[in-house]
Structures are given as C-alpha cells and as structure tokens.
Chains A and B, each alone.
Chain A
C-alpha cells in the first residue's frame, strides 16, 4: 500500500470531477474525520485513517481490500472508476438522470439508457457529461455519460441512446470476482 503520487492524484481527481465537479473538496476535507486515498495493487482505496492504521498490520500479499475501492489505474496509467465508488458519487452528483421503472431492469443488465426509458434529466446537462443514474424512487443505480445534451434529448427520437452505461449496481452480481 502506498499513497498516490502527484500525477496519479491529478488523473483521479480529473476523473472524479467529471461526475461531482468541485465537490471533491468534501471528500478530501471531511468534518467527521480524516479520510485518505491509498493505492494497493493498482487500485485506489478510500478509507479513514483509523482503518489505514489497522491495515498496516496486514502484509502486502495478504491484503485484498481496504475501505472502499474507488477504481483502478490501468496499465497505461488511466483511471477507471468502479461501481463501488457510487456511494460517494451519488450524494455529490452534479448532473442526474432518472430512469423509468420499465427501463430500470435493462439498465441494470448493462444496457444503455434510451430516450423511451428516460424519466427526468437535470437541466443544462452538456453532451458527454458524467451523470449518475437514479431510479424514479431516487435510488442510485449507477453512473454513465450523457450521450445527448438536455436540449437535444427533447427533440430526438425515442429509440436513440441518451445515456451511455458505464457502471451499474448489477455488476455486484455479474463481476463479483473482479470487484474488490
């Protein structure tokens, strides 16, 4: 386990800011305790310092996971956000998309969101903006990228994709072995 270097921190913050914008400050600087990011086996974990201190007692080869995994750095040093970060993205999300009950299941199986399944979308969403996907009951389902801006969404035909799927909570079952 080791702390992130400057470049790694920068890459990760850039990725996170696509979804939560300047609310990253609230993750870094929390009133209820010091939380930090640490890297283990190319994966970034977010944990409180208490857990960190306990984790130092476990040897590197035996340590599987600490705190919550936000994502991992690929071999070409790009940062990939995992579904396990949803708990921290959902409350701070800037742009949200609500999905109709009929299309929920489709999304949870890994498909993109079509215009026919779109319930609500925050105003002034840009195209290719990072969005968090909710069900109509305000339950976070996952996150993705807006394929069309809000204005365009209004005019486009019902069978076109409006949100590209990136991660959904169904992955907890589908990709059980790869998530840490």
Chain B
C-alpha cells in the first residue's frame, strides 16, 4: 500500500514537473521574430484551421497567445538584467522596427529677412568660437552673453569726445543705446515670425509682453480704438471713460452755444470736486483757537484769584473786550469766531455769578 502510494506520488510529481516544463518551453515550427526594443514578437506559423474550428475559438486563441507571450518573455529574460531597489529590471536594446509618423512633417519656414539677403549676396555662415581671449582680464570669456569679452556698458572709464555735450552722461548713453538695440532686435524677431505666419505685428512700442506703464497702455487703447473703419468715431465708451484727448494738431472745443444746463452742471461738479479737495479742518486755525481759549481760561483764573484776594470791587471786567470787530469770516473763520464768542460770553457770566 505505502509503496503503491509512493510510486503513485512519484509518478504524479514527475507528471507535474513535465507539465511545468511544458508550460515554459514552447514548440513551434518556425521561430518567432523578436524586436525586444518594442517588446514585439511576430509569429509567422500557419494556423491550423481544423484545430481552430474543432476547439472553441476563444480557447484556441488564448492558448496561442499564451504560447507566444511565453516565448517573448523567455526572450526578454535573455537580456542583461540589473537590480533596482528590490526589483529586477531588464535593459532593453534599441527598437529595430521603424514606426510611421504620428503627425504630418513640419512645413518649411519662410526665410527671415537676413537669410534672404544672405542668399542673395552669397554670404556663408562663418563658424565662430564661443570663447574669446580677453587681454585685460587675462581669461577666456564668452563672445556674447553674460560677462562677455567686449561689453561697452561695463567700462569704468569713458573719454568724453570733443563734440559731445560735457553735461551728458556717457555711461547712461551707452546703456540706453544697448536697450534700444535689444528692443529693435526683439521687434525684428516678431516681424519675422509674423511674416512666417502671415500675421500682423503692431507698431514699435505696442507689441511688448513686458509690464507696460499706464501711459503705454492708454496709448495702446487709443490706437486700438481708432483702428476701425470709421477711425473710432462710433466706438462705444465705458461708463466713466473720458472722451479721447485729441492727439492730432487740431484742437477741438465745445460748441459756442452748447447746452447751457450741461455746462452749468459740469462747472458745479468741478466746484464740488475742488471743495472736496480743500481740507475742512485748518490745522493752524484749530491750534490757534485752542491756544487762545487756553490763554483766556488762564487769564480768567488769574482774575478770579485777584478778585478773591482784594475782595469784590463790582464785577468790573478787565478790558479784554477789544471786540472781535466785524465778524465777516464765514466757514472756517466762523468756527473760531463762534468759539471765541462762546468763550467770551461764558467769562462774562462768571463774575456775575459771584
């Protein structure tokens, strides 16, 4: 019994092993063609139609796929491997099958103005070295770019030429010339691009992508407004936008006998605006008023003390009543006048109470 079972076990083990091996090795009439770079395996074996029809079609296809995949993986394992953080990675060779283009090829760009000119004149491009020997710094410097060899904006000494204005800043002049050249280059580059795309580039100064100041933006707006068929005459305006200032030579005025009520209204608005800007509290006046009141209170206190000491001699008021002659001043003046009048009245009342 035991021997029987052992034999049976052994036989079973052998069978399983054979099956396993069978699963790894696959027999094919023709070898597959492999392109490991693209992980591609091409099977050129004929398909037995009878077998295809006999079995269920799905099963046939699945077994075919499994066999071919096994062969492909066998082939992959033949490549050199390396270990990357607990994973075994295979280094794939370069793909052998050429794949077709996904998108159409780019069209040829039209030549730039310089390229056209060079072609016309037969100018060849001369290969130049990137680094140039700078004698003064005794080192190799770039031909162009950051810390280049001959940067005239970085000179520490510039001789003022005879014909130049002595008060002119030569350093600033060079820097300005440089910025102008850079801007011109940028503008030409944009024009080349526009020509290539058959687009339009606006006038120098309006195409910048850098931060523009308020004046540049308003100029751009006005140019855009007038670039219509009617030169901007029928363009709507935003609610609070002012009428465009006439930049041309002819000045435009309101009509002589325009709308009188409108004119009056505008003038009153202007007056209101001017009033709003004037400060309501005049600091010096307020300070003076405060000082005057304090002086008066001190004087009143002194008077009371003297009156108390000498005994009452009738409520004779000391001649402080010079009188605020002619209270003409309204408004700001009125505040101080009113304050002064109030203070004086109060004082007059006090001796009476005593």
Contacts and interface: CB of A to CB of B under 8 A. Distances in A.
Contact of A25 (B257, B271, B337): B271
Contact of A14 (B254, B274, B327, B332): B274
Contacts of B72: none
A56 B257 contact: yes
Contacts of A2: 253-254, 256
Contacts of A34: 260, 264
Interface residues of A, number: 32
Given A5-B253, A28-B264, A124-B332, A10 B324 contact: no
Contact of B328 (A9, A95, A151): A95
Interface residues of B, number: 30
Contacts, number: 78
A135 to B, nearest CB: 15
B256 A3 contact: yes
B74 interface: no
A21 interface: yes
Contacts of B326: 120, 122-123
Interface of A: 1-3, 5-6, 9-10, 13-14, 17, 21-22, 24-25, 28-29, 34, 36, 38, 49, 52-53, 56, 94-96, 120, 122-125, 151
17 contacts: A3-B256, A3-B263, A6-B266, A13-B270, A14-B274, A36-B263, A53-B257, A94-B330, A95-B329, A120-B325, A122-B326, A123-B324, A123-B325, A123-B329, A124-B336, A124-B337, A151-B288
Interface of B: 253-258, 260, 263-264, 266-268, 270-271, 274-275, 285, 288, 324-333, 336-337
Given A25-B271, A34-B260, A94-B329, 10 more contacts: A2-B253, A2-B254, A10-B274, A17-B274, A28-B267, A120-B326, A123-B328, A123-B337, A124-B329, A124-B336
